[in-house]
Amino acid sequence: MNGLTGNEAVVMKNVCKDFKVLNRHEGLKGSIRDLFSRDYKTVSAVKDVSMTVNRGEIIGYLGPNGAGKSTTIKMMTGVLEPTSGEILVNGKVPYKNRTENCENIGVVFGQRSQLWWALPLVESFKLLRDIYMVPQKDYEGMIELYRSLVDLESILHKPVRQMSLGQRTLSDILAAFIHNPPVVFLDEPTIGLDVSMKAKIRELILGLNKEKNTTVILTTHDMGDVDALCRRIVIIDKGMKIYDNDIDHLKNYFGSYRTLKLKLADDTWEEMLIDEKTTDVMDVIMARQKETKIKDVKILEISTEDVIKKIYEGSSK
């Protein structure tokens, strides 16, 4: 590929991924028919996606369920081969040099664990140290860094199977960074976690990104993650890239939208999203006031969550 500056961690060019899926039929008869069916259809999971991620960036890779996020991640990690297009991670084609590529990436799938379930966390760390051939000095340095970022003592000697989901996710993230990879993929790392654990994990990711200048590619459905971590987001839907820019730009994009919150007589808050270009906020308040008593009014800038919702809704029309 031409025009690379050498500062790119990940480059994707016109990447497509098709899956061949058997057309399944309904019912018992259909199931039996499927045994001999050659009736395949092609499903395009990713269509012509191009993007560049620079070193040290944390990007939010967003999209509704089934948009093709995980497929993209799996192509970047080398597990899947793209049907067409080019991918370079750390300057190499991931699926052609899979084992080599694996030495230079870290991966966390929020719903799965790569840790050794029966053993204390420290054993998983030691094994990963040996598998990735991390020099002892670097390993100790990394453990020191972990100590400064999280309360390591409480989990280091705990068997993984006894951990809470939050502790396990935290441990998985630490495990993904142990060989100090230049690029880390985090696939929904905060899924199912409570508020304080989410905050801890975000702090950890930010801390590791800052200390080691690690490029982080993050997929999530939690806009809190995006607000806390990402300056740039890429959104895909139905396999196509529909947005790729700064998060601030995103808000300008929907700059005329306001969140209007009304406190009603029964002390509940009513929330609505209003486009000031088409609707006047005051009109809405007045119309509502005729129906019920309003105790308090708040007008807020649109939240990231609402912006993303708008984009998802917009693209699915």
The residues that touch another protein, with contacts defined as CB under 8 A, are 19, 70, 74, 77-81, 98-100, 102-103, 105, 107, 109, 111-114, 116-119, 123-124, 126-127, 130-133, 187-188
**What is d(CA 86, CA 94) in angstroms, rounded to the nearest whole number?**
10
Q: Nearer to another protein by C-beta: 188 or 306?
A: 188
Q: Nearer to another protein by C-beta: 74 or 202?
A: 74
Q: Nearer to another protein by C-beta: 48 or 81?
A: 81
How many CA within 13 A on the CB side of residue 304? 21
Q: Nearer to another protein by C-beta: 74 or 258?
A: 74
> How far apart are CB 24 and another protein at their closest, in Å?
13
Q: Of 70, 66, 21, give the one whose Cα is nearest residue 42.
A: 21
CA distances to 122, 200, 217, 248 from 163, in Å: 13, 16, 26, 38
Do residues 302 and 273 touch, judged by C-beta distance below 8 A? yes
> How far apart are CB 254 and another protein at their closest, in Å?
29
> How far apart are CB 116 and another protein at their closest, in Å?
6
Please tell me whether residue 217 adopts helix, strand or coil conformation: strand
> How far apart are CB 119 and another protein at their closest, in Å?
6
Q: Nearer to another protein by C-beta: 28 or 195?
A: 28
Q: Nearer to another protein by C-beta: 81 or 211?
A: 81
> How far apart are CB 113 and another protein at their closest, in Å?
8
**What is d(CA 222, CA 169) in angstroms, rounded to the nearest whole number?**
15
Question: In which element (H, E) is residue 8 found?
Answer: strand 8-22
Q: Of 179, 13, 16, 1, give the one whose Cα is nearest residue 91.
A: 1
Q: How many H-runs (helices) and E-runs (strands) does the chain carry?
A: 12, 12
> How far apart are CB 198 and another protein at their closest, in Å?
19
